């Protein structure tokens, strides 16, 4: 019979709740009835190591943490804005794990101080938030219009957030209803923005700036699917305000008004022609036609009725094919290459600097970034700094 592990019941409860998992999910993962999970959590029974591993899989947490005798002092997950009722929405175990990794990297950076200090713009009452944010990001319209591809645009926006001291992470999640999340700065660690790499790149760009909105406007994090509740989301809600900010930063109002297509499509009765014009403008700003239409409505250039009538015809950004297996399990993709796109040059450069200074042990970096022993040398050779 397998050995039973004397785990602390309070730690099991903490791990489940901080992983935003339910008793039913834990039961399904371990192949046990709900009552058994509750018995473990009440100290009436103990799991085997194999069962603990399955719990760790489900909660996204290191199995070692489940062996601690006391509950760790880690902030709770950010509020989930995906549900209109404020309830908890489903989340994959990969998403749970990556949420914990974001916290882990944040804590690591708080320890070694090799990341730019946060420089989030303050928005005084009455000031145009988008203007202030765009100024802080330091991206000019001329630069934006010169970007040759959506990939270049995403990299530029990401780098701009990095200059504000925001850690930008991405990972290909199987969750179609989780586009991004944000974590506020804590204990010297930077604020975090996470985007779902499984989304089309234009959607990721919008999410990037939506999550920046959480930091700038709401000063707290969030788990988000920006368009989940539709474009008619109240402008006063946190998600509505973040959407408006993201749209206004990506497509500045004054510049949009000055485009010949803008006045043309405001008066154009033919839907197909409007969609064509939106596509043209979207390509110019490197955003989707949906975002341009949203902005045109936000600027009061079309009526509510006209806006609502066309919205369903605008195809939402396509999703990439969802992963069947995790990228690490797919052959032929070197981990260090995946690391570059997931973690970005600021983080990788910072951690390599910390290694050079002897401020971090190599194994801590390898674990945090899920790399192998030879990958650090390859990253150093590739020169993310």
For another protein, the binding residues (CB under 8 A) are 3, 5-7, 48-50, 52-53, 56-57, 59-65, 67-69, 72-74, 93, 97-98, 100-101, 103-104, 107, 335, 361-364, 366-368, 370-375, 377
Rounded to 5°, the CA angle 66-76-22 comes to 60
CB of 174 to another protein, least distance (A): 15
10 Å CB burial of residue 306 (0-12, 13-18, 19+) is middle
CB of 177 to another protein, least distance (A): 21
Q: Are 26 and 70 in contact (CB under 8 A)?
A: no
Q: Are 16 and 23 in contact (CB under 8 A)?
A: yes
CB of 336 to another protein, least distance (A): 8
Contacts 24+ apart (CB under 8 A), 191-194: 191/118, 191/120, 191/165, 191/166, 191/167, 191/215, 192/102, 192/105, 192/106, 192/166, 192/167, 192/168, 192/221, 193/161, 193/166, 193/167, 193/168, 193/169, 194/98, 194/99, 194/102, 194/168, 194/169, 194/170
Q: Which CB sits closer to another protein, 6 or 125? A: 6
Extract the tokens encoding 219: 């000063």
- The enclosing H or E element of 30 equals helix 23-30
R_g over Cα of the chain: 23
10 Å CB burial of residue 151 (0-12, 13-18, 19+) is exposed
Q: Which CB sits closer to another protein, 65 or 132? A: 65
Q: Which CB sits closer to another protein, 330 or 367? A: 367
- The enclosing H or E element of 193 equals strand 192-196
Q: Which CB sits closer to another protein, 22 or 48? A: 48
Q: Which of 151, 130, 270 is nearest to 209 (CA)?
A: 130
CA distance 108 to 122: 26
Q: Are 30 and 51 in contact (CB under 8 A)?
A: yes
201-213 vs 238-250: helix crossing angle, rounded to 10: 120
CB of 154 to another protein, least distance (A): 25
335 SS3 class: helix
Extract the tokens encoding 241: 């305000």
CB of 239 to another protein, least distance (A): 27
Q: Which CB sits closer to another protein, 129 or 360? A: 360
Q: Which CB sits closer to another protein, 35 or 377? A: 377
Q: Which CB sits closer to another protein, 54 or 82? A: 54
Q: Which CB sits closer to another protein, 137 or 167? A: 167
CB of 168 to another protein, least distance (A): 18
CB of 78 to another protein, least distance (A): 15
Q: Which CB sits closer to another protein, 70 or 85? A: 70
CB of 41 to another protein, least distance (A): 17
CB of 91 to another protein, least distance (A): 14
Q: Are 34 and 27 in contact (CB under 8 A)?
A: yes
Q: Which CB sits closer to another protein, 107 or 159? A: 107
CB of 150 to another protein, least distance (A): 29
Extract the tokens encoding 245: 């900010």
């Amino acid at each position: 019979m397998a050995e039973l592990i004397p785990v602390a019941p309070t730690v099991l409860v903490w791990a489940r709740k901080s992983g935003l998992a339910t008793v039913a999910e834990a039961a399904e993962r371990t192949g046990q009835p709900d009552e058994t999970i509750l018995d473990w959590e009440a100290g009436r029974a103990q799991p085997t190591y194999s069962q603990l591993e399955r719990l760790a899989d489900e909660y996204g947490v290191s199995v070692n943490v489940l062996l601690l005798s006391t509950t760790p002092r880690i902030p709770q997950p950010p509020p989930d804005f995906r549900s209109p009722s404020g309830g908890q929405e489903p989340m994959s175990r990969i998403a749970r794990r990556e949420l914990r990794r974001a916290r882990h990297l944040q804590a690591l950076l708080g320890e070694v101080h090799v990341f730019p200090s946060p420089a989030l713009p303050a928005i005084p009452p009455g000031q145009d938030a988008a203007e202030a944010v765009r100024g802080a990001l330091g991206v000019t319209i001329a630069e934006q219009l010169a970007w040759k591809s959506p990939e270049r645009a995403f990299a530029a926006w990401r780098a701009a957030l990095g200059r504000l001291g925001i850690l930008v992470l991405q990972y290909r999640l199987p969750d179609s209803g989780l586009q991004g999340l944000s974590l506020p700065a804590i204990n010297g660690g930077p604020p975090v923005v996470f985007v779902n790499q499984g989304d089309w790149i234009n959607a990721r760009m919008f999410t990037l700036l939506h999550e920046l909105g959480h930091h700038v406007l709401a000063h707290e994090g969030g788990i988000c699917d920006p368009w989940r509740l539709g474009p008619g989301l109240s402008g006063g809600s946190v998600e509505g305000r973040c959407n408006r900010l993201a749209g206004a930063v990506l497509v500045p109002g004054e510049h949009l008004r000055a485009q010949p297509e803008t006045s043309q499509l405001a008066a154009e009765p033919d839907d197909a022609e409007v969609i064509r014009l939106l596509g043209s403008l979207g390509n110019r700003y490197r955003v989707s036609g949906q975002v341009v239409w949203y902005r045109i409505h936000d600027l009061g250039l079309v009526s509510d009725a006209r806006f609502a009538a066309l919205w369903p015809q605008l195809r939402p950004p396509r999703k990439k094919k969802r992963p069947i297996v995790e990228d690490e399990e797919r052959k032929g993709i070197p981990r260090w290459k995946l690391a570059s796109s997931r973690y970005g040059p600021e983080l990788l450069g910072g951690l390599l600097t910390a290694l050079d200074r002897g401020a971090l042990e190599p194994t801590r970096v390898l674990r945090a970034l899920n790399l192998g022993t030879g990958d650090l040398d390859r990253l150093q050779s590739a020169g993310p700094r």
